[in-house]
Chain A
Amino acid sequence: MTEALFEFLLRQGDNSLVLGHRVSEWCGVAPALEEDIALANTALDLIGQTRLWLEYAAEVEGKGRSADDLAFLRDAYDFRNMLLVELPNKDFGQTLMRQFLFDAFQVPWLTALKSSSDQHIADIASKSLQEALYHLERSRDTVIALGDGTKESNARMQEALDRLWPYAGEVFRDDEIDIAMAKKHIAPRPSEIRQTWDATLKETFEAAYLTLSEDRFAHSGGRTGQRHTEHLGHMLATMQVLQRSYPGATW
């Protein structure tokens, strides 16, 4: 049970860590100053959430590791984030589309986690939810604005959606960890969230003049750690360089 809970917490923490890292790559080069500020803010929220999830994960694991140990000293196959969040930023359109697909899941997911039988999880969820609601409002508005905007912005957003779509469904494939969590009323099965997510997407993409594919194919392997994309290793090489190069140093 402890092991399943640990895995579950890694999934939460790694999603926010990996996405937070990706978003932070935008620092100083966003399309407008307001976006620089907003992207930094999103990254900051996600890194803050990471600390809460990974601190609890480390505590549950009980092997004396810290949140930083988990973030900076695990290799790619020990990461449990969904593939979607590790994909490269590409242009601003793909970055915001990825953010929207994630936020649209994260809001109902954290809302459900607020009633977790595990009080610590319920507390982290309710704090994170405030931020996720704001992120969703922003990413949704941006997707709609750019979908509606010009011919070029519409084409770019459609391209972003098509490119990311095969990575969006991974999270809804319940596995034994999800079932174990559901049995203990720690979390719902992710598939229970799908309807809400589908509704948000439908409503948003209609307003954005974007077409959602009927195809339900979904890549998987991120949240189980079985097969990440090639991109995660490069991200970790950058992210972990100091901790790996100078073992035992305090920063």
Chain B
Amino acid sequence: MYAQMVKSTGKALLSREEMSPQERAFQDRIDQGEKIEPKDWMPEGYRKNLIRQIGQHAHSEIVGQLPEGNWITRAPTLERKANLLAKVQDEAGHGLYLYCAAETLGVSRDQLFEMLHTGKMKYSSIFNYPTLTWADMGAVGWLVDGAAIMNQVPLQRTSYGPYARAMVRICKEESFHQRQGFQIMLTMANGTEDQKRMAQDALNRFWYPALMMFGPSDKDSVHSAQSMAWKIKMNTNDELRQKFVDETVPQAEFLGLTVPDEHLTWNEDTGHYDYSEPDWNEFFDVISGNGPCNTERLEARKMAWDDGAWVREGMLAHARKSQARKAAAE
């Protein structure tokens, strides 16, 4: 999940009686499965929550380029290099769709960048973990894109039209990324002793951070009810996490790798795996800026933005000059 700690506007879920007639009509449209479009009336809280969620998601896509970009120059074959480049290019494209969706809510991309750079907006905790071996390119595709899909497939039905449509495009590409990641893992897991070791090590390091992607446990997740009523959140964190574990464990078995959880067991009664919770203290550390790579990731983005200022200004000045020249010629 790329938007894992979206703070809602703070108000508790309104009952029907507490709603204004406009709010009631709005909620009715959502309950009937209608899509809300940019020009439609919407409660301020809905708009604000969506901006936070879509913005966080967009930031995750672009910060997410960095841990994988870390291996593009070291990809071991021409084919892997091309695949990884294509994947990272897709992620930048996802960022673009999402910033466009956010813009329909009245916030510009530059404003959102500003909030990312000043720490007012977050991105997914997962991208604050380092990528240390080539197997991490497998683990990231398999687990991280895999977890993203769990969250984003239901969001294709989210109530806000532009967000839902962006999700449809994104989901197609994410499942491709996941397959590609799994292929890398499969090759490594069936490779030399060194490669097997790298594959297991990557799973060890990425398993719990991947589980954290779904956000805190439902009992500690205070912001969900209103978002679910507005259908900008479709499932609870624990539901999605369970689904992810249930789908991923057999894949790990197929790879011949061991999920780093000694309490992991199939539960006949529930029809689900029982698993250990991630270390939530670590999660809150990462969220509050103390993950292994928070400083470097943000530094890289800020440096790119600052170093690129002259380019953006130059492009803009040229566009204005060309327009003026064109006007003068007419």
Contact = CB atoms under 8 A, between A and B. Distances in A.
B169 interface: no
A114 interface: no
B82 interface: yes
A148 interface: yes
A37 B96 contact: yes
B73 A21 contact: yes
Interface in A42-98: 43-44, 47-48, 50-51, 54, 67-68, 71-72, 91-93
A41 interface: yes
A239 B74 contact: yes
Contact of A246 (B195, B305, B319): B195
How big is chain B's contact interface, by range? Answer: 35 or more
Nearest to A93: B311
Main secondary structure of the interface of B (DSSP, over half): helix
A51 B75 CA distance: 14
A37 B85 contact: no
A44 B89 contact: yes
Given A27-B88, A31-B307, A47 B318 contact: no
B313 A149 contact: yes
Contacts of A149: 313-318, 321
B303 A29 contact: yes
Interface in A1-60: 17, 21, 24-25, 27-37, 40-41, 43-44, 47-48, 50-51, 54
Nearest to B305: A31
Interface stretch (B62-70, B143-151, B257-265): B62-70
Nearest to A152: B310
Interface in B297-316: 300-301, 303-305, 307-316
Contacts of B96: 33-34, 37
Interface residues of A, number: 51
A148 B323 CA distance: 13
Given A24-B85, A29-B300, A152 B74 contact: no
Contacts of B318: 144-146, 148-149
B19 interface: no
B182 to A, nearest CB: 15
A146 B311 contact: yes
A68 B76 CA distance: 9
B77 A68 contact: yes
Given A33-B95, A48-B82, A153 B73 contact: no
Nearest to A238: B73
- Of B187, B314, B321, the most chain A CB neighbours within 10 A belong to B314
Contact of B311 (A24, A71, A153): A153
A243 interface: yes
A251 B73 contact: no
B47 interface: no
Contacts of A146: 311, 314-315, 318
B314 A145 contact: yes
Nearest to B304: A29
B194 interface: yes
Interface string B262-304: 0000000000000000000000000000000000000011011
Nearest to A156: B310
- Of B62, B89, B316, B321, the most chain A CB neighbours within 10 A belong to B89
A28 B78 contact: no
Contacts of B316: 149
Given A152-B310, A246-B194, A249-B191, A28 B73 contact: no
Given A50-B78, A71-B78, A251-B80, A31 B62 contact: no
- Of A17, A34, A71, A152, the most chain B CB neighbours within 10 A belong to A152
6 contacts: A31-B304, A44-B85, A146-B318, A148-B322, A248-B192, A250-B191
Enumerate the 5 nearest inter-chain pairs by beta-carbon distance, A residue then B residue, closest first: A31-B308, A149-B314, A153-B314, A28-B65, A27-B69
Interface of B: 62, 65-66, 68-69, 72-82, 85-86, 88-89, 92-93, 95-96, 99, 109, 134, 184, 187-188, 191-192, 194-195, 300-301, 303-305, 307-319, 321-322
Given A28-B62, A33-B62, A249-B192, 19 more contacts: A24-B81, A27-B68, A27-B72, A28-B304, A29-B301, A31-B307, A36-B65, A40-B85, A51-B78, A72-B76, A72-B77, A149-B315, A150-B310, A153-B314, A154-B314, A239-B73, A241-B74, A242-B75, A246-B195
